[in-house]
Structure 1
Amino acid sequence: MVNENLEDVGDAWGNPSSSVAPYVIAKMSVDATSAYYNMNHPKRGIALIFNHEEFGVGGLKQRAGTAVDCENLNEQLKTLGFEVKVYNNMNYTDLNYVVEDVAQLDHSENDCFLMAILSHGELGIIYAYDCQYKLESLWSKFTADRCPSLAGKPKIFIVQACQGDKLDAGVTMSRTEVDGTPMQSYRIPTHADFLIAYSTIPGYYSWRNTTRGSWFIQSLCEELKINGKKLDFQTILTFVARRVAVDYESNVPGDNLMHKQKQIPCVTTMLTRLIVFPDKQ
């Protein structure tokens, strides 16, 4: 262990504000030094898609085009071996019940877990049919202490929603020069092995075509179709970001403010290894 004989202290003023989490022992699914997550369990895992097109709160507009996103994402996740469950226009109580139920399942035979949310949003919040909520209220149910059968396994969250109302006009680039051993037990933080991929950066608008679907989900599905079983997921998300950043520009000719705007996805990762989705035997 690094610094095992030296004293460590926290970079914070005062004492920790939260109580110490209970000590939990979970079954090890991969060696501590492995560069890749173990994707050789009998099943790939469960994927939840919460698709919101209609809303009954806050005067929120219908999300035309999200059905296409949902259908395409469903197809690509099934191709990768996920057991996909789709839920449309759920209120928060029912949505939270579904998530609680899945978090309490035994995921011992699964490689990983994935949740996708397609909805309206603002900075720090997402909308269900009837109210707003924080994403943390969902992903926190899958931490290693609360869902031990997913400890040490990747937990992926995909969020297609605005994170604010700022617009990105972009910058024009001019041409220039382009310069097999036995495994020893180990401990991990309870919040390790999460990846949250947002369609846009905090504070900014997220674009959706009313016919073809959102830029982010379109790009994600295209990359999964091409590279889903060849490249690691973090690299795939990098190529998704490139697609969104380079290939898309808003088309709102009747509104000078909204016309020709850009977008860049944002990924928050607590992953400790690379994710690859090989074919199941």
Structure 2
Amino acid sequence: MAFLVSGTLRMAAQMADAQESLERKGKYNVQGPRVALTLSSPEVSASAVAILEGVFQTLGFESCWRRKASVQDFLEELTGFREQLDAHRAPMGCVLVALVAPSGQLRQPQKLIQELSGCEALRGCPKVFLLLSSAPGAAPKPGAFLTGLGELCGRCPHWSLLQLLTEVFCRTAEESSGTTYCPVLRSSLRGALCLGDVEPWGPEPEPSPSAQYDLSRDRAALFLAVTQDRPGAQHDVEALGSLCQALGFKTTLRTDPTAQGFQEELAQFQECLNRCRSPVSCALVALMAHGDLQGQLLGADGQAVQPEALVQELSHCQALRGCPKIFLLQACRGGHRDAGLGPTALSWFWRWLRAPSVIPSHADVLQIYADAQGSSSRGFTPGSCDQADILVVYAAAEGCVAYRDEKGSDFIQTLVEVLRAAPGGDLLELLTEVNRQVCELDVLGPDCDERRKACLEICSSLRRRLCLQA
């Protein structure tokens, strides 16, 4: 009994220390055990999996487990993996899971990701998922994505994984029929994640100027905001408008658009950019409205429009070819109110350690969609836009409620505060800090007396460092 209590308290202390490091430094402490798991379908060659595991070792994962199973059995395999991690009764430093299957077979990856997110041993730890498409019987030769990832992590160990991925995306993007395709990442990380075998709080090297987007030309922003029956929405519009003005964006505001108005306004915005005499270097679109249970935006007329369709519309803008396109979506993506994940350790010890008892259940996850042998993620993530140079930030995780009150939304208000404090920082890293602050908040919905948690989702196909300093 004393052994079990000692183990439980040691786990509580280690997890509290990791949480304190995240709050103090804004970086994950990944000095604990790192475990990688590869789940591959029978069509994937063993040689390709072996090469993938070599990349894992370069990234610092000591233990690499391998399972071959049909895609239908991936969930069962992940359940067994989770049970083995929980049986150790000790927190991990980081876990990396590679899901490798022929293109189009992983149709519902979120169920797989959610299964591992509930692992107690991984509570508060980063969970990285590589979702790799592979042609059946493909040659056992790593594509540019895996090669670049392994090389850069060994050469730039102080860089965060988001920085590394941005550079890898630049190397692996490909042109096809006038459109640039590249891998896509989806992040709910709350801090910088460095996997290099170095002391985690060391200084990061400054990237070269050529690694950044050139924002020296005009910047344009479009706000489409439904303010009817959305108390606090006007405060979001004013705060975001003031920030964009300080960052040099010429802003257009349209309030209370209908569902069709969302589409028409965005089409008109694109036409104006294409007709503009002076070149544009960046565009920002803020979409603020109610969302339905399917994650669609609701116009002032109560009709729905798919937000991904709006992202797709602007991706075809010729004036923005090769330029960053930023989308901010303040809207519900479903009706789930996340109570978060709490520790199973003795609650009085958590209070004594002053560690937060609840973390959003969707936090600390990084998903990377790419091709194992080739370079593009084309057709691998149904319903998502995989063109390059796009950044989409959702105020809530998929299926969850986005919170707002009379003072505005947690997402927009925190975003404005963070960007005003460090306008010259890397936008992906700043958004990670925004997510950390949002995840720490306890919120009360208008029809719920219990406290709930919120978590952002950041989707990026950026190929360069993006800094908005005017």
TM-score, normalised via structure 1 length: 0.75
Alignment partner of 1:201 out of 397, 418, 442: 397
Shift of 1:65: 0.6
Structure 1 Cα separation of the partners of residues 439 and 176 of structure 2: 43
Structure 1 Cα separation of the partners of residues 318 and 390 of structure 2: 14
SS across alignment from 1:116: strand
Alignment partner of 1:158 out of 321, 324, 328: 328
1:233 alignment counterpart: 427
Structure 2 Cα separation of the partners of residues 93 and 132 of structure 1: 9
Alignment partner of 1:63 out of 223, 230, 233: 230
Structure 1 Cα separation of the partners of residues 354 and 453 of structure 2: 22
Q: What root-mean-square deviation, in Å, do the aligned CA atoms of Structure 1 and Structure 2 show?
A: 2.9
SS across alignment from 1:83: strand
Instruction: Name the count of aligned residue pairs.
Output: 234
Work out the percentage of aligned pairs sharing the same amino acid.
27
2:178 alignment counterpart: 24
Structure 1 Cα separation of the partners of residues 295 and 336 of structure 2: 14
| 1:130-169 superposed matches below 5 A | 130=301, 131-143=303-315, 146-169=316-339
| 1:1-281 superposed matches below 5 A | 11-12=103-104, 23-24=177-178, 34-41=210-217, 43=218, 45-54=219-228, 62-104=229-271, 105-106=273-274, 109-122=279-292, 123-130=294-301, 131-143=303-315, 146-172=316-342, 174=350, 175=353, 191-210=387-406, 212-228=407-423, 230-246=424-440, 248-251=441-444, 257-279=448-470
Over alpha carbons, which structure has the higher Rg?
2
Whose helix proportion is higher, 1 or 2? 2
Structure 2 Cα separation of the partners of residues 92 and 167 of structure 1: 25
Shift of 1:24: 2.9
Structure 1 Cα separation of the partners of residues 322 and 330 of structure 2: 26
Q: Which runs of 5+ in 2 are unaligned?
A: 1-101, 106-134, 136-174, 181-208, 344-349, 356-374, 379-385
- Counterpart amino acid of 2:225? N
SS across alignment from 1:221: helix
Shift of 1:73: 0.5
Q: Which runs of 5+ in 1 are unaligned?
A: 1-9, 16-20, 27-32, 55-61, 178-186
For residues 210-267 of structure 1, the C-alpha deviation after alignment (integer angstroms, 9 at most, x for no partner) is: 2x11111110111121112x21111110111011111x21246x96x44211111111
Structure 1 Cα separation of the partners of residues 179 and 308 of structure 2: 23
In 1, are the aligned partners of 2:290 and 2:297 still within 8 Å (CA)? yes
Structure 2 Cα separation of the partners of residues 81 and 114 of structure 1: 11
Shift of 1:273: 1.3
2:367 alignment counterpart: none
Displacement over 6 Å in runs of 4+: 187-190
TM-score, normalised via structure 2 length: 0.46
Shift of 1:176: 8.9
